[in-house]
Structure 1
Amino acid sequence: MLDFVNFTLLAVFIPTFFVVSITPGMCMTLSLSMGMSIGLKKTFYMMYGELIGVGLVATASVIGVATIMLKYPSIFLVLKYGGGAYLFYLGIQMWLSRGKMALSLDECNYNVSKKSLAIQGFITAIANPKGWAFFIALLPPFIDDKLPMTSQLIVLIFMILVLEFSCLIIYATGGKTLRKLLQNSSNVRLINKVAGILMMGIGIWLASS
C-alpha cells in the first residue's frame, strides 16, 4: 500500500504548480533572456543553479526556516541589491553588445563561466522574498499531516523541480527561437538590446521585490 504521499492532493498540486511556474517571473524571464543571448545549451547551467535555489527555498519553507528569515529581511538585502545590481550591469553590457554574454557576429560568445551562470540562477531563486512567501503559502495545503513528512517533502520537491525545469526549458527555447529568427548581420545588435532590456528589468525587479 502506497502510504507515503496523498495522491489526491498530488494530483491537484501538479497542475496548480505548473500554472504558477509557467507564469512569467524573474527566473523565467532570465531563462528567456539567456536563451536569446547565449543559447539553450549554455542556459542549462543557469537552470541548474536556479533549481538548487528553488529546492532549497521549498525545503526551508516547509521546515519553517523561511519564517525566521522573513522576520529578518536584512538577510536578503545583500543578495537582493547585489544580485540585482549585477544583473542590471550585465543587461547594460548586453545592450552595448559588450561582455561575455553578448551575441557577436561570429557567435564566439561562449566564454562566460558555467559557474557564474549557475550562481546567477541560484541567487535569482533565493533572493526573492516573494518566492519564500509563495512557498510558505502554497506547500502546506498539499501536505497530509497523517502521512510521513519526509516522504511527502521529497515527492513534492521532486515534482516542483521537474515542473520548474520544464518551464525553464520552454522559456529558454523561446529565447533561442527568437534569436534564430532575428540573427543576421543587421539584427545581432537588436538581439543584444532585447536581451539586455530583459536582463536589466530582472535586476530592477529583484532589487525592488
Structure 2
Amino acid sequence: MVSIEFLVTSLVVVLIPGPGVLYTVSTGLTEGRGASVYAALGCTAGIVPHLLATVLGLAAVMHTSALAFQVLKFAGVAYLFYVAYATWRDTSAFAVDGNAAAARTPASSLVAKAFLLNILNPKLTIFFLAFLPQFVEPGIGPWSPLLQLLLLSAVFMVMTFVVFVVYGLVAHAFRQRVIDSARVQRWLRCSFAAAFAGLGARLALSER
C-alpha cells in the first residue's frame, strides 16, 4: 500500500513543475504568503475529480474516448492561454503583506483559478489510471483494492498540498528582493505569462 516506493515516486511527481506549481509560485510572488496557500488548496482540490475518476473507473472511459479527451484537453488549453494573457496584461504592483492591497484578489477567486488549472488537464486522469494501480496489493486483510486506492489518493493529495505550500512560501521569501523594482516585476509577469502559454501549447500538441 503506502510504501516507501509510493511516497518517493509521488514526491518526485509532485515536485515536477507544471501549471499548478507555476500558478502557486506566481501567486506567492505577486499576492503574498496567504494567497499562495489558497492557490495550493485550489490546485489540490483540482486533482480530486481525477483521482475519483480513477477510483471509480471513469478514467478508463476517458482513456478510450478520443472525443472526451479532446474536449477536455482544448478546454484546458484555452484556460492556460487565458491565464497567460491575464498575467501579461496585469500591471498592478506586487502586493505587500500587511497592506490592504495584499487582499486585492479574493480567496475564492484564487482557489477557483487554481482548481480550474488542474481539473481541465485530462492527462492527470490518464496519469492516475496508470500510476495508482501499481501500488495496489491484492488480498491484504480488510484492505480491498478500492480502499487502497482511496488511501493512496488521500496520501497523494496531502503530499500535493504540502509541497505546493512550500513552493508558495519559498516564492514569498524572494518577494522582498523584487518588490521595489517595477522592471523586475514586469519581467517576472512576462516570464510567467510565457510559461503558461508554453504549457498550453504543449498540452495542445500532446497525445493521449
TM-score by length of 1: 0.79
Question: Alignment partner for residue 103 of structure 1, among 94, 103, 113?
Answer: 94
Distance in 2 of aligned mates of 1:83 and 1:68? 18
Distance in structure 2 (CA, Å) of the matches to 1:74 and 1:113: 35
Secondary structure of 1:184's partner?
Answer: coil
Question: Partners of 2:73 and 2:33 in 1: how far apart?
Answer: 26
Q: 2:35 aligns with which of 17, 42, 47?
A: 42
Question: Is residue 159 from structure 1 mapped to residue 155 from structure 2 by the alignment?
Answer: yes
Which string of whole-angstrom CA distances, capped at 9 and with x for unpartnered residues, describes residues 112-131 of structure 1? 23233222222222222221
1: CA distance between counterparts of 2:106 and 2:193? Answer: 18
Structure 1 unpaired stretches of 5+ = 1-5
Correspondence for 1:197: 194
Indicate if the aligned counterparts of 1:50 and 1:118 stay in contact, CA closer than 8 A: yes
Aligned to 1:175: 171
Instruction: Specify the code of the residue in structure 1 equivalent to 2:35.
Output: K
Deviation, structure 1 residue 77: 4.6
In 2 relative to 1, CA 178–58 (structure 1 residues): closer, same or farther, beyond 3 Å? same
- Partner residue of 1:3? none
Distance 1:30 1:172 in 2: 9
Question: How much does 1:80 deviate?
Answer: 3.7
> 1:156, CA displacement in angstroms?
0.9
Q: Distance in 1 between matches of 2:11 and 2:67?
A: 31
| Matching residue of 2:133 | 140
- Give the alignment's Cα RMSD to 1 decimal: 2.8
Kept in 1, the 8 Å contact 2:55–2:150? The answer is: no
* 1:109-161 per-position Cα deviation (integer Å, ceiling 9, x unaligned): 63323233222222222222221221111111111121323432232122101
**Partners of 1:32 and 1:172 within 8 A in 2:** yes
Distance 1:156 1:18 in 2: 13
Matched AA of 1:136: L
Task: Give aligned pairs, total.
Answer: 200
> Quick check: 1:46–1:121 contact (8 Å CA) kept in 2?
yes
Distance 1:79 1:69, change over 3 A: closer
Amino acid at match of 2:191: V
SS state at 2:128 partner:
helix
Alpha-carbon distance, 1:14 to partner: 0.9
